[in-house]
Structure 1
Amino acid sequence: MSERAAPFYCPYCGDEDLRPGEEGPGAWECGACNRGFRLKFLGLLARGVERPDTGGDRI
């Protein structure tokens, strides 16, 4: 993941008060809820992966 990639919102509280964490690459801290979390890029999805039909017209 690029060093410039950054989350826009905290995944726990949704606040935007984020800063890089001291725990290494991908670590972030939220100033609003006082939680730390890590982001990691897992890789690209394989071609041909299909999403299940949501059945939008069904009642």
Structure 2
Amino acid sequence: MSTETRAAPLYCPYCGEENLRPHADAHTAWECHACARVFTVRFTGLLARKGVSR
């Protein structure tokens, strides 16, 4: 996955509104125009599931 491409969140994790825009100061931050919060969404990793073979 390229670091230049960002997946857009569909809604604000705080208020649930969909009026989101990329935040100008940080490449990975989003701003919600409904509740005036700035947040980031980051993928951390996958959980190891017991009994699932790969």
Give me the TM-score of the superposition, normalised by structure 1.
0.67
2:19 to 10, 17, 30: 17
Larger-Rg structure = 1
What is the count of residue pairs matched by the alignment?
49
Q: Could you list the runs of 5+ residues in structure 2 that have no partner in the other structure?
A: none
Give the corresponding residue for 1:41: 43
Give me the TM-score of the superposition, normalised by structure 2.
0.72
CA deviation map 1:5-40 (0-9, x unaligned)? 111111111111001112323210001111100111
Q: Could you list the runs of 5+ residues in structure 1 that have no partner in the other structure?
A: 50-59
Q: Tell me which stretches of 4 or more aligned residues in structure 1 moved more than 6 Å.
A: none
Amino acid at match of 1:22: A
The two structures, once aligned, show a CA RMSD in angstroms of 2.1
